[in-house]
């Protein structure tokens, strides 16, 4: 009889201002507010330390903090954290079994934070297909350039950006999340469950994906990352600023992937219907069990590798680049500064 | 730096199985349902899926044969890489054995599944070539690798995504897609895909390096042909896009279970009710017992539809006051199950329940 406790749709008493409650409008201003605050704090610390507030190093710092907090601000603004935040501050509107954001009653609900695994599945599939089309268009750019020898449409640098972004979008924003989309829709139904184990985490996983993808695409505005989707160090450590966009975008796509995988593991282990033993599960569920284990064990490694590249680039940690800092300064482009980074003492 | 590559590929080789295993799951569903036969070797497919996952963590350095890593690591990594072909082969043979003597319905989903088997076997074979150390050393960073990755990632993964999207489209949207456009999409994709990526094998063997914007004029003819078919391949996506958008808006209303599948998602309405099931279903058997007399996967109980409230669901969004909405929401308990089906009559359900209870006791 578990089903009967849950038949509540949206219970909203009065219309709410889109500026202040989870919406695209709030996502817009909160994301940029977060970004500006983060850049402001890092600039202030640099000012206190007597470091220059212009030049390549400041750009790296601004990109790192700005992009990271822009993406976090986006998920906050769109409303992924509203339920948890309401719980933390003891909001009078907060209710334990809150299904107000569950299920689609009109097409508009697909553009909001929603905890229904079926809505999230379709959100995933539509968004990833858009990235598939963009990634495909980048590939057509590559093929246009390669249709005849010599340089026709793109400079070699842009060409490198095209195939790097093509692979990155296809892998991190199409293939992996579109499987998450199909599985989101199908797996809970196949198990006889009412939803995923953690519906709000599920929504957060989806909304992490969009800022990740936008960060990849935004790199074309500053000169695309061009070290391939593999982003091999030390090439990537010395690459122009577009590479920072790659290392940060990967973090959000990867976090989305890990959170979804944890969700699938818990769902498959704990939410099977009565009589659904492991040997009665459809093979798609088996496949997702294995895949989710791989994601949970493996994805932290690429997150770690890209963090180390990012630290090498921004903080000169020398994980992958054994050369002394002076070499970095002499090889970095348009850097007004030749100083070594301050020691941590 | 070899350190970066080791860390990177320790994820990124398992990542290729992250990008492939769900596809294997989709294909297992589709092959069994659309050929009306129990899946061949259910447990072996499940085991091999897990085996691929475990083995996937032992092969990463095959991406690094020419990176200057410790030379002794090459032979063990070559061996584990070739070992992975065994569980993958188990799956391929199981699917082919499922198809054998089945009643094959060539729906678009099934076409993509069959196309997947064809292209993925080619991609798997070039993968075995690349696993062999002397071959890999000579083909590293050439178009042979580009051809291989696209045969497994496009011909493999993307075909399974298309297959899954067509297969579950009625369930997700409540509408049927256009089969004729679907078939057109498949054949355009299949032909253009092979014409795009097959010649890349030859370019690679002739030594054309990847990731370079310019190339030797002797590769010009093949590259021109590849580019033409790459544009056809891109255009084929537009057929799919049109089919999806048009069918989603205007397609014929889908029944709950258009493919006569046994798994639970097909036992509820299309699209499913907002909370999926009125009561937790009782699972009584395996999910693939197609054509087995008396076999049932699960009993799904639904409540009597109440036609009085039909159509109220859309009124929820515009209803004014809180009590009004509450009243509508209470009513929705009945509305949500309007389109549901029971799997059989009450007497039969009781009989199956009883049998299930007995088999649990035994």
Of the candidate CATH numbers 1.10.1060.10, 3.90.76.10, 3.40.50.720, 1.20.210.10, the domain formed by A111-331 belongs to 1.20.210.10
All CATH 1.20.210.10 domain ranges of chain B, comma separated, are 2-250
Least confident interval from A28-42, B191-205, B304-318: B304-318
What is the residue-averaged pLDDT of chain A? 88
Report the residue of A227, A239, A298, A303 to disrupt the B interface, i.e. the one with the largest count of B CBs within 10 Å: A298
Q: What is the mean pLDDT of residues A232-236?
A: 87
Answer for the pair B177, B108: CB distance below 8 angstroms, yes or no.
yes
| pLDDT value at B71 more than 90 | no
Which residues of chain B make contact with A301, given a CB cutoff of 8 A? 7-8, 10-11
Residue B301's pLDDT is what?
67
Question: Nearest C-alpha of chain A: how many angstroms from B110?
Answer: 16
Query: Looking at chain B from residue 58 to 97, which residues have their Cβ under 8 Å from any Cβ of chain A?
Result: none
User: B258: closest CA among B146, B105, B124?
Assistant: B105
ipTM of this predicted structure: 0.89
- pLDDT tens for residues A87-108? 999 988 888 877 888 888 888 8
Residue A206's pLDDT is what?
96
How far the first Cα of chain A sits from its last, in Å, is: 62
The CATH superfamily assigned to B2-250 is Cytochrome c oxidase-like, subunit I domain (1.20.210.10)
Answer for the pair B23, B59: CB distance below 8 angstroms, yes or no.
no
CA angle centred on A13, ends A10 and A15, rounded to 5°: 95
**Does residue B245 belong to the interface with chain A, where contact is any CB pair within 8 Å?**
no
A175: confidence class by pLDDT, cuts 50, 70, 90: very high
Are the beta carbons of A305 and B171 separated by less than 8 Å?
no
Least confident interval from A97-101, A201-205, A276-280, B172-176: A97-101
Report how far residue B41's alpha carbon sits from residue B99's, in angstroms, rounded to the nearest whole number: 12
Are the beta carbons of B15 and A302 separated by less than 8 Å?
yes
What is the residue-averaged pLDDT of chain B? 84
Of A9, A143, A280, the CB nearest to B329: A9
| pLDDT value at B315 more than 70 | no
Name the percent of chain A lying above pLDDT 90: 67
Sequence ranges of the domains in chain A:
111-331
Q: What is the mean pLDDT of residues B97-123?
A: 95
Which residues of chain A make contact with B53, given a CB cutoff of 8 A? 290-291, 293-294
Which residues of chain A make contact with B318, given a CB cutoff of 8 A? none
Which residues of chain B make contact with A150, given a CB cutoff of 8 A? 214
Write out the DSSP string of A245-306.
Answer: HHHHHHHHHHHHHHHHHHHHHHHHHH-PPTT--GGGS-HHHHHHHHHHHHHHHHHHHHHHHH
Are the beta carbons of A294 and B14 separated by less than 8 Å?
yes
In chain B, DSSP assigns E strands to 282-283, 298-299
User: A220: closest CA among A179, A161, A177, A163?
Assistant: A161
Of B3, B25, B165, the CB nearest to A287: B25
């Amino acid at each position: 009889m578990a089903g009967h406790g849950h038949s509540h749709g949206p219970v909203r008493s009065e219309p709410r201002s889109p500026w202040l409650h989870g919406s695209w409008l709030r996502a817009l201003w909160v994301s940029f507010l977060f970004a500006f605050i983060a850049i402001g704090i890092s600039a202030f610390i640099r000012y206190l330390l007597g470091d220059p507030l212009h030049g390549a190093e400041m750009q790296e710092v601004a990109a790192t903090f700005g992009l990271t907090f822009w993406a976090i601000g986006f998920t906050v603004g769109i409303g992924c954290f509203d339920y948890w935040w309401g719980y933390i501050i003891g909001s009078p509107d907060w209710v334990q079994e809150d299904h107000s954001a569950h299920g689609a009653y009109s097409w508009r609900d697909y553009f909001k934070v929603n905890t229904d695994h079926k809505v999230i599945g379709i959100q995933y599939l539509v968004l990833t297909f858009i990235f598939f089309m963009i990634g495909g268009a980048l590939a057509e750019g590559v093929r246009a350039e390669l249709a005849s020898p010599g340089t026709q449409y793109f400079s070699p640098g842009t060409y490198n950006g095209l195939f790097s972004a093509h692979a990155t979008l296809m892998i991190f924003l199409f293939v992996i999340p579109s499987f998450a989309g199909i599985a989101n829709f199908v797996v809970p139904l196949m198990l006889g469950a009412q939803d995923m184990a953690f519906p709000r985490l599920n929504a957060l996983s989806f909304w992490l994906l969009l800022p990740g993808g936008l960060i990849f695409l935004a790199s074309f505005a500053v000169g695309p990352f061009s070290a391939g989707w593999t982003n091999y160090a030390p090439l990537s450590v010395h690459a122009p600023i577009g590479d920072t966009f790659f290392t940060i975008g990967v973090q959000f796509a990867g976090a989305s992937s890990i959170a979804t995988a944890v969700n699938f593991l818990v769902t498959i282990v704990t939410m099977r219907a009565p009589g659904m033993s492991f040997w009665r599960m459809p093979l798609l569920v088996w496949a997702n069990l294995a895949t989710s284990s791989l994601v949970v064990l493996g994805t932290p490694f690429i997150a770690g590798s890209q963090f180390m590249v990012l630290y090498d680039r921004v903080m000169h940690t020398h994980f992958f680049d054994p050369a002394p800092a002076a070499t970095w300064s002499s090889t970095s482009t348009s850097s007004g500064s030749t100083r070594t980074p301050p020691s941590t003492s | 730096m070899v350190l970066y590559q080791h860390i990177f590929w320790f994820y990124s080789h398992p990542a290729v199985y992250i990008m492939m295993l769900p596809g294997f799951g989709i294909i297992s569903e589709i092959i069994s349902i659309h050929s009306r036969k129990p899946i061949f070797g259910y447990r072996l497919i499940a085991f091999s899926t897990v085996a691929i996952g475990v083995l996937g963590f032992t092969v990463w350095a095959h991406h690094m044969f020419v990176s200057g890593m410790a030379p002794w690591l090459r032979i063990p990594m070559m061996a584990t890489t070739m070992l992975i072909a065994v569980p993958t082969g188990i799956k391929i043979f199981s699917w082919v054995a499922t198809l054998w003597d089945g009643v094959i319905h060539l729906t678009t989903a099934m076409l993509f599944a069959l196309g997947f088997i064809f292209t993925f076997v080619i991609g798997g074979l070039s993968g075995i070539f690349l696993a062999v150390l002397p071959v890999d050393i000579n083909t590293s960073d050439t178009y042979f690798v580009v051809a291989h990755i696209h045969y497994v990632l496009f011909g493999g993964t993307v075909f399974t995504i298309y297959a899954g999207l067509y297969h579950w489209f009625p369930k997700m949207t409540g509408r049927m897609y256009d089969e004729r456009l679907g078939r057109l999409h498949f054949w355009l994709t299949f032909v253009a895909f092979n014409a795009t990526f097959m010649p890349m094998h030859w370019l690679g063997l002739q030594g054309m390096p990847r990731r370079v914007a310019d190339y030797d004029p002797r590769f010009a003819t093949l590259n021109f042909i590849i580019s033409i078919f790459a544009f056809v391949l891109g255009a084929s996506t537009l057929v799919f896009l049109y089919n999806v958008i048009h069918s989603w808006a205007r397609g014929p209303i889908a029944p709950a279970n258009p493919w006569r599948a046994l798994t639970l998602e097909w036992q509820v309405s299309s699209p499913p009710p907002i909370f999926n099931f009125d009561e937790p279903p009782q699972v009584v058997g395996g999910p693939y017992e197609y054509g087995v007399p008396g076999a049932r996967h699960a009993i799904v109980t639904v409540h009597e539809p109440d036609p009085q409230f039909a159509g109220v669901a859309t009124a929820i969004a515009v209803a004014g006051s809180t009590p009004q909405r509450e009243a509508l929401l209470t009513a929705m308990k009945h509305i949500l199950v309007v389109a549901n089906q029971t799997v059989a009559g009450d007497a039969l359900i009781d009989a199956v329940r009883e049998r299930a209870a007995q088999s649990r006791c035994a």
